[in-house]
A = this chain, B = another copy of it.
Amino acid sequence: MIESPINEIDIVKAKTSKIEKVDFNNLAFGKTFTDHMFVCDFEDGKWQTPKIIPYQAMTIEPSARVFHYGQAVFEGMKAYKDENDRVFLFRPEDNHRRINKSAARMAIPEFPKDYFFKGLSELLNLDKDWIKPGIGNSLYLRPFVIATEPAISAAPSETYRFMIICSPAKAYYKGKVRVLFAEKFSRSADGGVGFAKAAGNYGAQFYPTSLAQKKGFQQIIWTDASTHEYLEEAGTMNIFFRIGNTLITAPNNDRILDGITRKSVIQLAKDLGIECEVRRVSVKEIRAAAQDGSLKEIFGAGTAAVISPISAFEHAGDVFEIDDIEESYASLFKQGILNIQHNEAEDLHGWRFEIK
Protein backbone atom coordinates (compact mmCIF):
# COMPACT_ATOMS: atom_id res chain seq x y z
CA MET A 1 0.00 0.00 0.00
CA ILE A 2 1.47 3.28 -1.09
CA GLU A 3 0.45 6.36 0.83
CA SER A 4 0.99 9.62 -0.93
CA PRO A 5 -0.35 13.10 -0.45
CA ILE A 6 -3.22 13.59 -2.86
CA ASN A 7 -3.37 16.48 -5.19
CA GLU A 8 -6.78 17.85 -5.90
CA ILE A 9 -8.69 15.92 -8.50
CA ASP A 10 -9.29 17.85 -11.72
CA ILE A 11 -12.99 17.62 -12.44
CA VAL A 12 -14.70 18.33 -15.74
CA LYS A 13 -18.45 17.84 -15.41
CA ALA A 14 -20.62 16.46 -18.19
CA LYS A 15 -22.71 19.21 -19.78
CA THR A 16 -25.80 17.04 -19.87
CA SER A 17 -26.71 13.76 -18.20
CA LYS A 18 -27.62 10.61 -20.13
CA ILE A 19 -29.65 9.31 -17.20
CA GLU A 20 -33.06 10.17 -18.67
CA LYS A 21 -32.42 7.83 -21.57
CA VAL A 22 -31.77 4.82 -19.35
CA ASP A 23 -34.46 2.26 -18.56
CA PHE A 24 -33.47 1.18 -15.06
CA ASN A 25 -35.92 -1.71 -15.15
CA ASN A 26 -34.23 -3.28 -18.16
CA LEU A 27 -30.51 -3.12 -17.63
CA ALA A 28 -28.19 -5.57 -19.36
CA PHE A 29 -25.22 -6.06 -17.04
CA GLY A 30 -22.21 -3.88 -17.86
CA LYS A 31 -23.44 -2.18 -21.01
CA THR A 32 -24.67 1.18 -19.68
CA PHE A 33 -22.25 3.64 -18.13
CA THR A 34 -22.79 6.72 -16.00
CA ASP A 35 -21.96 10.32 -16.93
CA HIS A 36 -18.43 10.41 -15.52
CA MET A 37 -15.28 8.37 -15.18
CA PHE A 38 -12.14 8.58 -13.09
CA VAL A 39 -8.77 8.60 -14.86
CA CYS A 40 -5.24 8.66 -13.46
CA ASP A 41 -2.08 8.15 -15.51
CA PHE A 42 1.21 6.72 -14.34
CA GLU A 43 4.06 8.56 -16.06
CA ASP A 44 7.65 9.46 -15.19
CA GLY A 45 7.61 6.91 -12.38
CA LYS A 46 4.56 8.24 -10.55
CA TRP A 47 0.80 8.53 -10.58
CA GLN A 48 -0.13 11.95 -11.91
CA THR A 49 -2.97 14.21 -10.75
CA PRO A 50 -6.21 12.22 -11.06
CA LYS A 51 -9.11 13.60 -13.02
CA ILE A 52 -12.80 12.98 -13.42
CA ILE A 53 -14.14 13.66 -16.89
CA PRO A 54 -17.30 12.89 -18.82
CA TYR A 55 -17.51 9.18 -19.71
CA GLN A 56 -16.06 8.90 -23.18
CA ALA A 57 -13.98 6.84 -25.56
CA MET A 58 -10.25 7.29 -25.23
CA THR A 59 -7.29 7.50 -27.56
CA ILE A 60 -4.60 4.87 -27.26
CA GLU A 61 -1.74 3.63 -29.43
CA PRO A 62 -2.24 0.26 -31.18
CA SER A 63 1.17 -0.68 -29.78
CA ALA A 64 0.03 -0.13 -26.17
CA ARG A 65 1.32 -3.09 -24.18
CA VAL A 66 -2.11 -4.00 -22.79
CA PHE A 67 -3.23 -5.13 -26.24
CA HIS A 68 -0.22 -7.39 -26.74
CA TYR A 69 0.70 -8.69 -23.30
CA GLY A 70 -2.49 -8.48 -21.25
CA GLN A 71 -0.82 -6.39 -18.58
CA ALA A 72 -4.09 -5.37 -16.92
CA VAL A 73 -5.91 -5.90 -13.64
CA PHE A 74 -9.32 -4.90 -12.34
CA GLU A 75 -11.72 -4.90 -9.42
CA GLY A 76 -15.46 -5.30 -9.09
CA MET A 77 -17.29 -3.25 -6.46
CA LYS A 78 -20.78 -1.94 -5.92
CA ALA A 79 -22.32 1.20 -4.49
CA TYR A 80 -25.71 0.95 -2.75
CA LYS A 81 -28.27 3.48 -1.66
CA ASP A 82 -30.55 3.22 1.33
CA GLU A 83 -34.06 4.66 1.53
CA ASN A 84 -32.67 7.97 2.79
CA ASP A 85 -30.40 8.41 -0.24
CA ARG A 86 -27.28 7.64 1.73
CA VAL A 87 -24.63 5.96 -0.44
CA PHE A 88 -22.52 3.03 0.75
CA LEU A 89 -19.71 0.83 -0.47
CA PHE A 90 -19.06 -2.67 0.87
CA ARG A 91 -15.58 -3.43 2.25
CA PRO A 92 -13.83 -1.11 -0.24
CA GLU A 93 -10.51 -1.32 1.59
CA ASP A 94 -10.37 -4.95 0.55
CA ASN A 95 -10.83 -3.97 -3.08
CA HIS A 96 -8.00 -1.49 -2.82
CA ARG A 97 -5.74 -4.04 -1.15
CA ARG A 98 -6.61 -6.66 -3.74
CA ILE A 99 -6.11 -4.51 -6.83
CA ASN A 100 -2.64 -3.73 -5.54
CA LYS A 101 -1.97 -7.42 -4.89
CA SER A 102 -3.11 -8.20 -8.43
CA ALA A 103 -1.05 -5.29 -9.75
CA ALA A 104 2.12 -6.50 -8.00
CA ARG A 105 1.77 -9.96 -9.60
CA MET A 106 1.34 -8.33 -13.02
CA ALA A 107 4.32 -5.97 -12.55
CA ILE A 108 2.00 -2.95 -12.41
CA PRO A 109 2.72 -0.14 -9.91
CA GLU A 110 0.45 -0.02 -6.87
CA PHE A 111 -2.24 2.64 -6.77
CA PRO A 112 -2.29 5.04 -3.78
CA LYS A 113 -5.05 4.50 -1.27
CA ASP A 114 -6.00 8.16 -0.97
CA TYR A 115 -6.34 8.50 -4.75
CA PHE A 116 -8.55 5.42 -4.80
CA PHE A 117 -10.89 6.63 -2.07
CA LYS A 118 -10.97 10.28 -3.09
CA GLY A 119 -11.67 9.19 -6.66
CA LEU A 120 -14.53 6.91 -5.62
CA SER A 121 -16.00 9.58 -3.39
CA GLU A 122 -15.95 12.38 -5.97
CA LEU A 123 -17.19 10.09 -8.71
CA LEU A 124 -20.09 8.75 -6.66
CA ASN A 125 -21.09 12.22 -5.56
CA LEU A 126 -21.26 13.33 -9.18
CA ASP A 127 -23.13 10.23 -10.37
CA LYS A 128 -25.23 9.44 -7.30
CA ASP A 129 -28.52 9.74 -9.16
CA TRP A 130 -27.49 6.60 -11.02
CA ILE A 131 -27.69 4.59 -7.78
CA LYS A 132 -31.25 3.48 -7.22
CA PRO A 133 -32.44 2.55 -3.74
CA GLY A 134 -33.93 -0.86 -3.08
CA ILE A 135 -32.51 -4.34 -2.57
CA GLY A 136 -31.12 -5.70 -5.83
CA ASN A 137 -30.28 -2.30 -7.27
CA SER A 138 -26.69 -1.11 -7.24
CA LEU A 139 -24.10 0.78 -9.17
CA TYR A 140 -21.40 -1.60 -10.31
CA LEU A 141 -17.96 0.03 -10.12
CA ARG A 142 -15.09 -1.17 -12.25
CA PRO A 143 -11.68 0.11 -11.22
CA PHE A 144 -9.03 -1.15 -13.66
CA VAL A 145 -5.45 -0.53 -14.72
CA ILE A 146 -4.02 -0.98 -18.20
CA ALA A 147 -0.48 -0.81 -19.58
CA THR A 148 -0.35 2.08 -22.05
CA GLU A 149 3.26 2.33 -23.18
CA PRO A 150 3.49 2.19 -26.98
CA ALA A 151 6.13 -0.56 -27.18
CA ILE A 152 5.86 -4.22 -28.13
CA SER A 153 8.93 -5.77 -26.59
CA ALA A 154 7.88 -8.36 -24.02
CA ALA A 155 8.55 -6.28 -20.91
CA PRO A 156 6.55 -4.33 -18.33
CA SER A 157 5.13 -0.98 -19.37
CA GLU A 158 6.64 2.32 -18.26
CA THR A 159 3.20 3.99 -18.33
CA TYR A 160 -0.24 2.95 -17.08
CA ARG A 161 -3.78 4.24 -16.86
CA PHE A 162 -5.97 3.64 -13.80
CA MET A 163 -9.67 4.20 -14.42
CA ILE A 164 -12.99 3.74 -12.68
CA ILE A 165 -16.11 3.36 -14.79
CA CYS A 166 -19.59 2.83 -13.34
CA SER A 167 -22.52 0.81 -14.62
CA PRO A 168 -26.00 0.62 -13.03
CA ALA A 169 -26.86 -3.00 -12.23
CA LYS A 170 -29.61 -5.37 -11.35
CA ALA A 171 -28.80 -8.90 -10.12
CA TYR A 172 -26.16 -10.50 -12.35
CA TYR A 173 -27.52 -14.01 -12.76
CA LYS A 174 -31.21 -14.43 -13.11
CA GLY A 175 -32.49 -17.63 -11.64
CA LYS A 176 -30.49 -20.72 -10.83
CA VAL A 177 -27.33 -21.80 -12.47
CA ARG A 178 -26.34 -25.22 -13.78
CA VAL A 179 -22.62 -25.92 -13.67
CA LEU A 180 -20.11 -28.36 -15.07
CA PHE A 181 -17.10 -29.58 -13.10
CA ALA A 182 -13.97 -29.08 -15.23
CA GLU A 183 -12.33 -32.31 -16.35
CA LYS A 184 -10.09 -31.21 -19.20
CA PHE A 185 -9.69 -27.44 -19.27
CA SER A 186 -8.16 -25.52 -16.41
CA ARG A 187 -8.13 -21.95 -15.18
CA SER A 188 -4.83 -21.56 -13.35
CA ALA A 189 -1.81 -23.29 -11.93
CA ASP A 190 0.25 -23.11 -8.77
CA GLY A 191 2.77 -20.32 -9.21
CA GLY A 192 0.50 -18.63 -11.74
CA VAL A 193 -1.83 -15.64 -11.60
CA GLY A 194 -5.14 -17.33 -10.67
CA PHE A 195 -5.36 -15.47 -7.34
CA ALA A 196 -5.13 -12.12 -9.15
CA LYS A 197 -7.90 -10.30 -10.95
CA ALA A 198 -5.69 -10.29 -14.04
CA ALA A 199 -7.55 -9.66 -17.28
CA GLY A 200 -6.23 -12.75 -19.06
CA ASN A 201 -7.65 -15.11 -16.42
CA TYR A 202 -11.13 -14.23 -17.64
CA GLY A 203 -10.70 -14.33 -21.41
CA ALA A 204 -9.10 -17.75 -21.06
CA GLN A 205 -12.36 -19.12 -19.61
CA PHE A 206 -14.64 -17.95 -22.41
CA TYR A 207 -14.03 -20.84 -24.79
CA PRO A 208 -14.41 -23.69 -22.26
CA THR A 209 -17.46 -21.88 -20.86
CA SER A 210 -19.00 -21.62 -24.33
CA LEU A 211 -18.61 -25.39 -24.71
CA ALA A 212 -20.32 -25.87 -21.33
CA GLN A 213 -23.13 -23.55 -22.38
CA LYS A 214 -23.74 -25.58 -25.52
CA LYS A 215 -24.32 -28.55 -23.20
CA GLY A 216 -26.77 -26.52 -21.09
CA PHE A 217 -24.48 -25.43 -18.26
CA GLN A 218 -23.99 -21.70 -17.69
CA GLN A 219 -20.79 -21.90 -15.70
CA ILE A 220 -17.80 -24.13 -15.02
CA ILE A 221 -16.52 -24.98 -11.57
CA TRP A 222 -12.80 -25.18 -12.09
CA THR A 223 -10.78 -28.00 -10.62
CA ASP A 224 -7.05 -28.18 -9.91
CA ALA A 225 -5.12 -28.35 -13.18
CA SER A 226 -2.92 -31.25 -12.09
CA THR A 227 -5.54 -33.86 -11.18
CA HIS A 228 -9.01 -32.30 -11.72
CA GLU A 229 -9.92 -33.95 -8.41
CA TYR A 230 -10.42 -30.85 -6.28
CA LEU A 231 -13.01 -28.12 -6.77
CA GLU A 232 -11.69 -24.58 -6.77
CA GLU A 233 -13.81 -21.65 -7.96
CA ALA A 234 -16.18 -20.69 -10.74
CA GLY A 235 -14.10 -18.02 -12.45
CA THR A 236 -16.39 -15.14 -11.53
CA MET A 237 -17.48 -16.58 -8.16
CA ASN A 238 -16.07 -18.58 -5.27
CA ILE A 239 -17.98 -21.76 -4.51
CA PHE A 240 -19.62 -23.09 -1.34
CA PHE A 241 -20.97 -26.59 -0.75
CA ARG A 242 -23.46 -27.46 1.99
CA ILE A 243 -23.29 -31.06 3.15
CA GLY A 244 -25.81 -31.70 5.89
CA ASN A 245 -25.68 -28.43 7.80
CA THR A 246 -21.98 -27.84 7.24
CA LEU A 247 -20.64 -25.35 4.72
CA ILE A 248 -17.42 -26.15 2.86
CA THR A 249 -15.30 -23.94 0.63
CA ALA A 250 -11.82 -24.29 -0.83
CA PRO A 251 -8.96 -22.39 0.83
CA ASN A 252 -7.34 -19.45 -0.90
CA ASN A 253 -4.11 -20.22 -2.69
CA ASP A 254 -2.17 -19.22 -5.79
CA ARG A 255 -5.03 -20.41 -7.95
CA ILE A 256 -8.12 -19.11 -6.17
CA LEU A 257 -9.30 -15.52 -5.85
CA ASP A 258 -9.57 -14.14 -2.31
CA GLY A 259 -13.21 -13.19 -2.77
CA ILE A 260 -14.73 -10.47 -0.61
CA THR A 261 -18.20 -12.01 -0.75
CA ARG A 262 -16.56 -15.37 0.04
CA LYS A 263 -15.00 -14.10 3.24
CA SER A 264 -18.19 -12.25 4.17
CA VAL A 265 -20.10 -15.54 3.91
CA ILE A 266 -17.51 -17.28 6.10
CA GLN A 267 -17.88 -14.54 8.73
CA LEU A 268 -21.69 -14.53 8.58
CA ALA A 269 -21.69 -18.30 8.98
CA LYS A 270 -19.63 -17.87 12.13
CA ASP A 271 -22.01 -15.16 13.37
CA LEU A 272 -24.99 -17.45 12.77
CA GLY A 273 -23.40 -20.51 14.33
CA ILE A 274 -23.21 -22.37 11.03
CA GLU A 275 -20.18 -24.60 10.79
CA CYS A 276 -17.96 -23.62 7.87
CA GLU A 277 -14.95 -25.67 6.86
CA VAL A 278 -12.28 -24.02 4.73
CA ARG A 279 -10.47 -26.98 3.18
CA ARG A 280 -9.92 -28.84 -0.03
CA VAL A 281 -13.15 -30.22 -1.47
CA SER A 282 -12.90 -33.24 -3.73
CA VAL A 283 -15.15 -34.01 -6.66
CA LYS A 284 -15.48 -37.50 -5.21
CA GLU A 285 -16.85 -36.15 -1.92
CA ILE A 286 -19.42 -33.96 -3.63
CA ARG A 287 -20.53 -36.77 -5.95
CA ALA A 288 -20.92 -39.09 -2.97
CA ALA A 289 -22.86 -36.46 -1.01
CA ALA A 290 -25.14 -35.86 -4.00
CA GLN A 291 -25.75 -39.61 -4.24
CA ASP A 292 -26.50 -40.18 -0.57
CA GLY A 293 -28.68 -37.09 -0.31
CA SER A 294 -26.48 -35.15 2.12
CA LEU A 295 -25.55 -32.49 -0.45
CA LYS A 296 -28.12 -29.82 0.29
CA GLU A 297 -26.80 -26.82 -1.62
CA ILE A 298 -24.10 -25.45 -3.86
CA PHE A 299 -23.85 -21.72 -4.35
CA GLY A 300 -21.48 -19.19 -5.82
CA ALA A 301 -20.39 -16.02 -4.04
CA GLY A 302 -19.11 -12.94 -5.84
CA THR A 303 -19.59 -9.19 -6.06
CA ALA A 304 -21.53 -9.19 -9.30
CA ALA A 305 -23.81 -12.13 -8.45
CA VAL A 306 -23.74 -11.75 -4.62
CA ILE A 307 -24.98 -15.32 -3.98
CA SER A 308 -25.89 -17.52 -6.91
CA PRO A 309 -27.65 -20.82 -6.11
CA ILE A 310 -26.64 -23.76 -8.28
CA SER A 311 -29.34 -26.22 -9.23
CA ALA A 312 -27.33 -28.97 -10.91
CA PHE A 313 -23.80 -30.11 -11.67
CA GLU A 314 -22.36 -32.37 -14.28
CA HIS A 315 -19.28 -34.53 -13.91
CA ALA A 316 -17.99 -37.40 -16.06
CA GLY A 317 -21.24 -37.50 -17.98
CA ASP A 318 -23.42 -37.74 -14.86
CA VAL A 319 -25.83 -34.94 -14.03
CA PHE A 320 -26.78 -34.37 -10.40
CA GLU A 321 -29.84 -32.25 -9.69
CA ILE A 322 -29.96 -30.34 -6.41
CA ASP A 323 -33.48 -29.91 -5.10
CA ASP A 324 -34.71 -26.62 -3.77
CA ILE A 325 -34.85 -26.44 -0.02
CA GLU A 326 -36.67 -24.08 2.28
CA GLU A 327 -34.58 -21.75 4.39
CA SER A 328 -31.55 -22.33 2.22
CA TYR A 329 -28.20 -21.03 3.34
CA ALA A 330 -27.92 -19.34 -0.06
CA SER A 331 -30.97 -17.16 0.55
CA LEU A 332 -29.96 -16.61 4.17
CA PHE A 333 -26.52 -15.28 3.20
CA LYS A 334 -27.80 -13.36 0.22
CA GLN A 335 -30.38 -11.56 2.34
CA GLY A 336 -27.87 -11.03 5.12
CA ILE A 337 -25.30 -9.46 2.84
CA LEU A 338 -27.82 -7.36 0.90
CA ASN A 339 -29.29 -6.05 4.15
CA ILE A 340 -25.89 -4.93 5.35
CA GLN A 341 -25.03 -3.43 1.98
CA HIS A 342 -28.29 -1.46 1.84
CA ASN A 343 -28.10 -0.26 5.45
CA GLU A 344 -31.03 -2.40 6.52
CA ALA A 345 -29.17 -4.50 9.08
CA GLU A 346 -26.66 -3.86 11.80
CA ASP A 347 -23.09 -3.71 10.54
CA LEU A 348 -21.30 -5.82 13.15
CA HIS A 349 -17.98 -5.94 11.34
CA GLY A 350 -17.66 -2.44 9.93
CA TRP A 351 -18.18 -3.55 6.33
CA ARG A 352 -20.27 -0.58 5.22
CA PHE A 353 -18.40 2.48 4.06
CA GLU A 354 -20.49 5.59 3.64
CA ILE A 355 -19.75 8.01 0.82
CA LYS A 356 -20.30 11.55 2.01
Residues of A in contact with B (beta carbons under 8 Å apart): 28-31, 33, 37, 55, 57-63, 65-72, 74, 104-107, 140, 142, 144, 146-147, 150-156, 163, 165, 167, 172, 182, 184-193, 198-207, 210, 225-226, 228, 235-236, 304
Contacts and interface: CB of A to CB of B under 8 A. Distances in A.
Contacts of A61: 57-58
A207 B105 contact: yes
A57 B59 contact: yes
B193 A204 contact: yes
Contacts of A172: 153
Contacts of A193: 200, 204
Nearest to A194: B189
B204 A147 contact: no
A182 B235 CA distance: 26
B70 A154 contact: no
A288 to B, nearest CB: 24
Contact of A70 (B72, B107, B152, B185): B72
A191 to B, nearest CB: 4
Question: Which A-B residue pairs are the 4 nearest by beta carbons?
Answer: A200-B200, A70-B200, A70-B199, A189-B189
Contacts of A105: 204, 207
Given A144-B68, A186-B189, A192-B186, A60 B63 contact: no
Copies in the complex: 2
A147 B207 CA distance: 14
A31 B150 contact: yes
B154 A190 contact: no
A86 to B, nearest CB: 26
B63 A30 contact: yes
A61 B163 CA distance: 12
Nearest to A255: B189
A235 B155 CA distance: 11
Contacts of A205: 154
Nearest to A210: B107
A133 to B, nearest CB: 23
A28 B155 CA distance: 13
Given A65-B203, A70-B201, 14 more contacts: A68-B72, A70-B70, A70-B72, A70-B204, A105-B204, A106-B204, A142-B152, A156-B206, A185-B192, A186-B189, A188-B189, A189-B189, A190-B225, A225-B226
